[in-house]
Copies of this chain bind each other. A is one copy, B any other.
């Protein structure tokens, strides 16, 4: 037994509809002593991401449900505090899937479970954002599915988020017109002024399809060639009607349906009429793309060309509320929980 006390957030129950704080439970547990090959990591940041909402359900999806009464899964960055593994030493900065807790004991001989990261030019937290899973997600959907060409128009929903912001900026790098969709004037201003998108539509100003379609038409005078889908619902319907022939749509998330609401696609005929390609993807299934993606993303972050913003909650006890806020769009950019 070590002298460390580990505070953890467990999934206490599955949500019926919208999740609440009561679905989570904070517990304290002593950190066990290390066995040979193991490493003790103290987490500096926990990443909160929309995909976690899906894991809370007990339904068929691309991943196993999060088990009840176990530590919520999640990406973490931190520092090695003790090591019985020759490949790691105290002080190493590392990236892993440590979950919603302050410490993890990692069997670090398993390849890939713990990765050293270099914080000389890239802040530690960025490995959970633009130089991590959200960044590679944006990169993969844009580069491998949308395959944008200079002069084309790319639209991304949840544009101020950790993924969406990367999509638009990478599209601009490739000579495209980048148009965001986000909730509220502050987020839209950030998307255009800080992230450099050409336009951003505040979906909260448009309560019906006709109004949203008119705004989209104005923002995309040449139609839409690529769409990066994070939300579903009416936004998707409006975009589909505006897609150019041979348009590509990368399906990354459909947050508007995460609580089980029906979110039918109104006009699937457009798939045929406009000869669209729609493709869903999970970035963890395309590890072969990560090195190329991280090389571009890392360079852009290190040189200050790729902008991003973080919303940071303090302390593991705040994780549930921060996560519930994320699902409601209260965060601004990447949602993190700072643990030290």
Measured CB to CB, the nearest residue on chain B to A241 is B60
Known contacts A245-B62, A266-B262; A252/B279 CB under 8 A = no
The contact string, 1 if C-beta is below 8 Å from chain B, for chain A 244-268, is 0100000111100100001111111
Per DSSP, are chain A's interface residues mostly helix, strand or loop, or mixed? loop
Q: How many copies altogether?
A: 2
Selecting from A20-28, A91-99, A269-277, A287-295, the interface stretch reads A269-277
Structural contact, B232 and A275, CB atoms closer than 8 A = no
Residue A278 is within 8 A (CB to CB) of chain B in the complex: yes
Structural contact, B276 and A280, CB atoms closer than 8 A = yes
Measured CB to CB, the nearest residue on chain B to A282 is B275
- Across the interface, which residues of B come within 8 angstroms of A272, CB to CB? 62, 251-254, 280
CB of A284, distance to nearest CB on chain B (Å): 11
In whole angstroms, what is the CA distance A116 to B61 when docked? 53
CB of A9, distance to nearest CB on chain B (Å): 25
Residue A285 is within 8 A (CB to CB) of chain B in the complex: yes
- Across the interface, which residues of B come within 8 angstroms of A274, CB to CB? 62, 280
In whole angstroms, what is the CA distance A61 to B278 when docked? 18
CB of A56, distance to nearest CB on chain B (Å): 15
CB of A223, distance to nearest CB on chain B (Å): 11
Residue A281 is within 8 A (CB to CB) of chain B in the complex: yes
In whole angstroms, what is the CA distance A264 to B262 when docked? 11
Structural contact, B266 and A251, CB atoms closer than 8 A = no
Structural contact, A60 and B273, CB atoms closer than 8 A = yes
Known contacts A266-B262, A266-B264, A280-B276; A251/B271 CB under 8 A = yes
Measured CB to CB, the nearest residue on chain B to A246 is B285
Which one of A61, A257, A268, A282 has the greatest number of beta carbons of chain B within 10 Å? A268
Structural contact, B268 and A236, CB atoms closer than 8 A = yes
Structural contact, B265 and A62, CB atoms closer than 8 A = no
CB of A224, distance to nearest CB on chain B (Å): 14
CB of A269, distance to nearest CB on chain B (Å): 5
CB of A193, distance to nearest CB on chain B (Å): 31
In whole angstroms, what is the CA distance A269 to B262 when docked? 9
Which one of A262, A276, A278 has the greatest number of beta carbons of chain B within 10 Å? A278
Measured CB to CB, the nearest residue on chain B to A145 is B277
Contact of A264 among B264, B273, B277, B281 (CB under 8 A): B264
In whole angstroms, what is the CA distance A292 to B282 when docked? 34
In whole angstroms, what is the CA distance A13 to B222 when docked? 32
- Across the interface, which residues of B come within 8 angstroms of A266, CB to CB? 262, 264
4 further A-B pairs in the complex, CB-CB below 8 A; given A254-B269, A273-B280, A278-B278: A252-B272, A264-B267, A271-B278, A277-B280
Residues of A within 8 A of B (CB): 60-62, 232, 236, 245, 251-254, 257, 262-269, 271-282, 285
